[in-house]
Amino acid sequence: MKPIAIENHSKKGFMLVHQCEKCAAITKNRLAPDDDMEKVAEIAKGSAEGYL
């Protein structure tokens, strides 16, 4: 699973979006307080650049 984006859900908060490298299935997981926020920022920046 490769992290591809960060999404904001109105009730669940920020979600980390993963995509399977074999079958391309997408899953979402809530961010936790102990997640590495520097990595989260890198993923968010990369997903934002994809929209430009």
Q: What are the start-end ranges of the H helices in the chain?
A: 37-49
- The 10 Å Cβ neighbour count of residue 42 is 13
Domain ranges within the chain, ordered by starting residue: 2-49
In this predicted structure, what is the pLDDT of residue 29? 95
In this predicted structure, what is the pLDDT of residue 26? 95
In this predicted structure, what is the pLDDT of residue 48? 65
Query: Residues near 22 by Cβ (< 8 Å), separated by ≥ 6?
Result: none
For the stretch 1-52, pLDDT in tens is 999 999 998 999 999 999 999 999 999 999 999 999 999 998 888 776 655 4
